[in-house]
């Protein structure tokens, strides 16, 4: 297995409390690790430790073998896709400008960037001609989420981090996007760490599941192993997915 | 609570009636420079000790025109004015040199036009002093205003707003002496001119000949060799109606006549401007020592 | 003499004073923006600085303008540069405060997404925060300019020229026409400046259409 993301002994303390405590996992190429857990379990914190939006108190993170602590944070993050629940599209940028953000930061030629933007918008199911010049406030929630995904993929990152990206959508749109997303990820062969509190989403999208409870991993294994696990915390989540 | 309030009411009523009392009272004003404040305070204290009439001070009101407006409308009853100023600025007469003629004219005109009475001059002449830095006076051999005309094209002048506006002010002076400065004079608050001169921001200003700071700031006065400025004798000017109402005031004011010389006024100004002593204290001390 | 006659007779002088007045306001506003914008960004980035910096600019604003001129004179002497210093100090508060408010008012999700995508602090400031805060910042500049036009009339008391010269001359001589000759253009100048900046705001600031 080709390890894309290797996390060892990750720990994050805030005001004496450990929000993440001794978390270790490895994600191989093409795998999707879902970090599952209740609110406050430390899922988002773990995610933000991976792209160093916050600094770990202990432990290390390696992406494709490089120790992140030795790299410049901003440059590093351009090689990692990041999608958050509120999406955070720049309201004063068009859809095309939003998707083209990282190519712009990386100083791509305008032809290369334009082509990539067109490609990505088509990939997420948005017609580039219609949607390219639009502004985020002119889009629906589902459309905005698609743009967010396209934006994260712009620089063709080996790793994508997603924090409850479909959480703010209505159930019908959410299901539609989940399905499309799964197909997209399989097609592009991307490696993902995906945070959610929804067990059904975890089962649908994940190849592996890590169950976080009070900052520690209560379970780490494949999705099938999760389904069959006798652990009470796992059973609780499985029941909620039924 | 109610009991306390009940006890307060008569106290409040008494206080109200006291402040609204319509007993004898005089209001004295002054112009916006130290000497005027000092003289107003001396006159005020003199009236209070000789007649027992309470005097309200409204010091540092503004310039000549502001005080004239105030006394003619009755906002104040008295202020100390200078004969030359009344002659040229208020009565708009072309300046003449004889002090007695000026005083006579002014007295008559003020009585007739404004119902204001000029009482005895205090004894000194405060004329405009064209001031330069001592070092410059020595360096360029400046003793008179005619000498100034020589260096004016290379110099900057700074004046207070009143001097710039008055008929006996800058315009007339420049015309009489042929003064042409490198640029139009800088206008500023009168009180700032001596500092501006001392700091080198301007090279010549128009101060008062009885200024307390002249020696202290290292300044030199240039002589008015062409006799441009009229005499400026200081005297209390009071509303005729008020004098008739309080005849005792006339005697009090008469006692001050001729009691302050040029050098005495300069000394008193210095006590205020250089030593920063309280004006009321200076006035009290002077009255006690000088008049008994 | 009516106001119009006065202006006709003293047209050159009016232009000179107008030029001086505009100069005082323009220079001081420019300096205030150069100082205030970075200060506002600093305060937005480091909350620890919020109290001292905003507190200080607040205190300066509460000092009456004539008093502030008076305090600066022993240090800087009389003249235009002292006036400009005082005007800069007065203009700082609206500019710093509005820059701070504008930047912290940016949607935190936008900032999180920007950082997460790999924008440096500088890129975030340049591409996201300042453009989104521009409206609020410009509103602060507008306030600063209008206040400056008013306070600059006092500059005449300390020999800095400007339209206040007419006002002080009018006060000294109890001449209403003179006072108005200075006060009216000053008021019109303030309105004009406010209007121009409002126009600029509409043109330059992004707004969802």
Tell me what pLDDT residue A67 has.
74
Mean pLDDT by 10 residues, chain C (209 residues): 88 94 97 96 92 90 88 88 94 94 94 94 94 93 95 92 93 89 96 93 74
Distance CA B185, CA B151 (A): 15
Tell me what pLDDT residue C73 has.
87
What's the whole-number mean pLDDT along residues A126-151?
94
Tell me what pLDDT residue B12 has.
65
Q: Which residues contact B257 (CB under 8 A, 6 or more apart)?
A: B119, B120, B121, B122, B123
When CB atoms are compared, the residue of A77, A88, A135 closest to C118 is A77
A73 CA to centre of own chain: 17
Strands A191-196 and A159-163: parallel
- The residue ranges of DSSP E strands in B54-181, in sequence order, are 55-62, 78-82, 116-118, 128-133, 157-160
Cα separation values, B216 from A68, B267, B270, Å: 73, 12, 9
What are the two backbone dihedrals, phi and then psi, of residue B245, each rounded to the nearest 5 degrees? -70, -40
With H, G, I as helix, E, B as strand and everything else as coil, classify residue C35: helix
Per CB-CB distance under 8 Å, the chain C contacts of A75 are 118
Mean pLDDT across chain B: 91
Tell me what pLDDT residue C208 has.
65
Q: Which residues contact B152 (CB under 8 A, 6 or more apart)?
A: B179, B180, B181, B182, B204
Question: Which residue from C minimizes the CA distance to A102?
Answer: C117
- The pLDDT confidence band at residue B39, using thresholds 50, 70 and 90, is very high
What's the whole-number mean pLDDT along residues B187-193?
90
Distance CA B127, CA B120 (A): 18
Residue with tokens 């309030």: B5
When CB atoms are compared, the residue of C111, C117, C132 closest to A102 is C117
Is residue B188 over pLDDT 80? yes
Tell me what pLDDT residue A122 has.
93
- Within an 8 Å CB–CB cutoff, is residue C182 touching chain A? no
Is residue B16 over pLDDT 70? no
Tell me what pLDDT residue C132 has.
93
* Interface probe with C: pick from B89, B184, B186, B205, most Cβ of C within 10 Å: B186
Distance CA B178, CA B173 (A): 8
Q: Which residues contact B177 (CB under 8 A, 6 or more apart)?
A: B145, B146, B148, B149, B226, B228
Question: Which residue from C minimizes the CA distance to A88?
Answer: C110
When CB atoms are compared, the residue of C107, C118, C131 closest to A78 is C118
Identify the bridge partners of residue B62 per DSSP, sorted by sequence position. Answer: B31
Tell me what pLDDT residue B22 has.
61
Per CB-CB distance under 8 Å, the chain C contacts of B195 are 73, 77-78
* Interface probe with A: pick from C105, C117, C208, most Cβ of A within 10 Å: C117
Tell me what pLDDT residue B1 has.
62
- Within an 8 Å CB–CB cutoff, is residue C126 touching chain A? no
Distance CA A168, CA A86 (A): 7
- Within an 8 Å CB–CB cutoff, is residue C177 touching chain A? no
Question: Which residue from C minimizes the CA distance to B157?
Answer: C159
- CB neighbours of residue B12 within 10 Å: 10
Distance CA B69, CA B76 (A): 9
Tell me what pLDDT residue B21 has.
54
Q: Which residues contact B13 (CB under 8 A, 6 or more apart)?
A: none
Containing B208, the helix (H) or strand (E) segment is strand B204-208
Containing B229, the helix (H) or strand (E) segment is none
- Within an 8 Å CB–CB cutoff, is residue C132 touching chain A? yes
Interface of C with B (CB under 8 A): 73, 77-79, 156-159, 161, 165, 168-169, 171-175
When CB atoms are compared, the residue of C120, C128, C209 closest to A90 is C128
Q: Which two tokens stand for residue A232?
A: 């009470």
* Interface probe with A: pick from C111, C112, C113, most Cβ of A within 10 Å: C113
Rg (chain B; Cα; Å): 22
Is residue B20 over pLDDT 60? no
CB contact under 8 A, B188 and C77: no
Is residue B167 over pLDDT 70? yes
CB contact under 8 A, B189 and C168: yes
Distance CA B163, CA B169 (A): 5
Show which subunits contact B, needing at least 3 CB pairs below 8 angstroms: C
First-to-last alpha carbon distance for chain A, in angstroms, is: 32
Per CB-CB distance under 8 Å, the chain A contacts of C120 are 74
| 3+ Cβ–Cβ pairs closer than 8 Å linking A and C | yes
Identify the bridge partners of residue A106 per DSSP, sorted by sequence position. Answer: none
What are the two backbone dihedrals, phi and then psi, of residue B95, each rounded to the nearest 5 degrees? -60, 140
| 3+ Cβ–Cβ pairs closer than 8 Å linking A and B | no
- The pLDDT confidence band at residue A23, using thresholds 50, 70 and 90, is very high
Identify the bridge partners of residue B239 per DSSP, sorted by sequence position. Answer: B116
Which comes out higher in pLDDT, residue A168 or B18?
A168
Distance CA C70, CA C88 (A): 15
- Within an 8 Å CB–CB cutoff, is residue B60 touching chain C? no
Per CB-CB distance under 8 Å, the chain B contacts of C158 are 188-189, 192
Show which subunits contact C, needing at least 3 CB pairs below 8 angstroms: A, B
Question: Which residue from C minimizes the CA distance to B90?
Answer: C173
Q: Which residues contact C79 (CB under 8 A, 6 or more apart)?
A: B186, B201, C158, C159, C160
Tell me what pLDDT residue B168 has.
83
CB contact under 8 A, B165 and C171: no
Per CB-CB distance under 8 Å, the chain A contacts of C209 are 135
**Candidate from A56-70, A212-226, B264-278 with smallest mean pLDDT:** A56-70
Tell me what pLDDT residue A241 has.
80
CB contact under 8 A, A53 and C112: yes
Question: Which residue from A minimizes the CA distance to C108?
Answer: A88
In eight-state DSSP terms, residue B71 is H
Identify the bridge partners of residue B125 per DSSP, sorted by sequence position. Answer: B233
What's the whole-number mean pLDDT along residues B124-134?
94
Interface of A with C (CB under 8 A): 51, 53, 74-80, 82, 84, 86-92, 101-102, 105, 135, 137, 148, 151-152, 161
Q: Which residues of A143-182 are buried (b: 16+ CB within 10 A; e: fewer)?
A: bbbbbbbbbbbbbebbbbbbbbbbbebeeebbeebbeebe
- Give the closest residue to C83 by CA, choosing from C6, C26, C9: C26
- The residue ranges of DSSP E strands in B114-194, in sequence order, are 116-118, 128-133, 157-160, 186-188
* Closest Cα in chain C, distance from residue A75 (Å): 6
Interface pTM (ipTM) of the complex?
Answer: 0.89
What's the whole-number mean pLDDT along residues B282-292?
91
Cα separation values, A115 from A93, A104, A110, C73, Å: 18, 13, 8, 64
Find out whether B30 and B67 touch, Cβ atoms under 8 Å. yes
CB contact under 8 A, B161 and C171: yes
Is residue A16 over pLDDT 90? no
What's the whole-number mean pLDDT along residues B218-245?
93
What's the whole-number mean pLDDT along residues B93-109?
93
% pLDDT > 90, chain B: 77
Per CB-CB distance under 8 Å, the chain A contacts of C110 are 88-91
Is residue A119 over pLDDT 60? yes
The DSSP annotation for A157-176 comes to -SEEEEESTTTTS-HHHHHH
Distance CA B219, CA C71 (A): 24
- Give the closest residue to B256 by CA, choosing from B32, B114, B49, B31: B49
With H, G, I as helix, E, B as strand and everything else as coil, classify residue A191: strand
* Closest Cα in chain C, distance from residue A232 (Å): 35
What's the whole-number mean pLDDT along residues B175-204?
92
CB contact under 8 A, C110 and A102: no
């Amino acid at each position: 297995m080709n390890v894309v993301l290797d996390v060892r002994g990750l720990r994050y303390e805030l005001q004496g409390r450990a929000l993440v405590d001794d978390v270790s996992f490895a994600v191989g190429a093409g795998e999707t690790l879902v970090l599952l857990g209740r609110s406050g379990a430390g899922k988002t914190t773990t995610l933000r430790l991976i792209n160093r939006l916050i600094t770990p108190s202990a432990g290390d993170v390696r992406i494709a073998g490089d120790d992140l602590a030795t790299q410049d944070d901003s440059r590093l993050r351009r090689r990692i896709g990041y999608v958050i629940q509120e999406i955070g599209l720049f309201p004063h940028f068009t859809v095309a400008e939003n998707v083209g953000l990282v190519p712009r930061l990386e100083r791509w030629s305008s032809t290369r960037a334009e082509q990539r933007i067109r490609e990505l918008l088509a990939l997420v199911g948005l017609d580039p001609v219609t949607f390219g010049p639009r502004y985020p406030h002119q889009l629906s929630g589902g459309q905005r989420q698609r743009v967010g995904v396209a934006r994260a993929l712009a620089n063709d990152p080996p790793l994508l981090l997603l924090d409850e990206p479909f959480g703010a959508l209505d159930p019908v749109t959410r299901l539609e996007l989940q399905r499309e997303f799964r197909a997209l990820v399989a097609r592009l062969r991307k490696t993902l760490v995906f945070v959610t509190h929804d067990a059904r989403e975890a089962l649908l999208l994940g190849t592996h599941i890590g169950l976080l409870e009070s900052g520690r991993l209560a379970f780490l294994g494949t999705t099938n192993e999760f389904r069959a696990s006798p652990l009470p915390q796992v059973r609780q989540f499985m029941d909620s997915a039924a | 609570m109610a009991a306390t309030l009940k006890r307060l009411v008569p106290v409040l009523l008494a206080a109200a009636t006291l402040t609204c009392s319509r007993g004898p009272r005089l209001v004295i004003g002054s112009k916006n420079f130290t000497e005027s404040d000092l003289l107003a305070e001396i006159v005020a204290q003199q009236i209070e000790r000789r007649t027992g009439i309470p005097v309200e001070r409204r010091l540092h009101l503004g310039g000549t025109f502001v005080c004239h407006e105030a006394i003619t409308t009755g906002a104040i009853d008295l202020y100390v004015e200078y004969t030359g100023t009344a002659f040229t600025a208020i009565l708009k007469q072309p300046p003449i040199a004889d002090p007695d003629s000026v005083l006579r004219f002014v007295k008559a005109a003020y009585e007739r036009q404004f119902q204001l009475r000029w009482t005895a001059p205090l004894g000194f002449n405060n004329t405009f002093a064209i001031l330069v830095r001592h070092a410059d006076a020595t360096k360029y051999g400046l003793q008179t205003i005619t000498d100034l005309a020589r260096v004016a094209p290379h110099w900057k002048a700074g004046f207070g707003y009143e001097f710039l506006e008055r008929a006996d002010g800058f315009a007339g002076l420049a015309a009489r002496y042929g003064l042409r400065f490198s640029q139009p004079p800088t206008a500023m608050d009168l009180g700032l001119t001596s500092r501006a001169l001392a700091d080198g921001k301007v090279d010549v200003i128009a101060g008062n000949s009885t200024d307390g700071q002249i020696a202290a700031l290292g300044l030199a006065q240039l002589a008015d060799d062409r006799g441009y400025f009229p005499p400026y004798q200081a005297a209390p000017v009071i509303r005729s109606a008020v004098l008739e109402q309080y005849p005792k005031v006339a005697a009090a004011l008469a006692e001050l006549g001729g009691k302050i010389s040029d050098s005495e006024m300069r000394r008193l100004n210095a006590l205020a401007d250089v030593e920063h002593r309280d004006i009321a204290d200076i006035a009290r001390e002077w009255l006690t020592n000088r008049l008994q | 003499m009516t106001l119009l006659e006065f202006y006709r007779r003293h047209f050159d002088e009016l232009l000179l004073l107008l030029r001086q007045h505009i100069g005082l306001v323009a220079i001081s506003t420019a300096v205030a923006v150069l100082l205030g914008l970075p200060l506002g960004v600093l305060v937005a980035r480091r909350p620890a600085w919020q109290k001292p910096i905003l507190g200080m600019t607040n205190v300066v604003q509460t000092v009456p303008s004539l008093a502030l001129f008076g305090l600066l004179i022993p240090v800087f002497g009389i003249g235009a540069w002292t006036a400009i210093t005082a005007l800069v100090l007065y203009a700082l508060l609206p500019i710093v405060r509005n820059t701070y408010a504008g930047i912290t008012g940016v949607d935190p999700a936008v900032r999180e997404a920007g950082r997460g995508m790999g924008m440096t602090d500088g890129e975030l400031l340049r591409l996201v925060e300042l453009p989104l805060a521009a409206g609020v910042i410009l509103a602060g500049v507008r306030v600063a300019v209008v206040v400056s036009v008013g306070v600059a009339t006092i500059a005449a008391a300390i020999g800095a020229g400007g339209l206040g010269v007419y006002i002080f001359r009018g006060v000294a001589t109890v001449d209403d026409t003179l006072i108005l000759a200075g006060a009216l253009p000053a008021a019109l100048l303030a309105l004009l400046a406010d209007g121009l900046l409002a126009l600029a705001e509409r043109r330059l600031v992004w707004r969802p259409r």
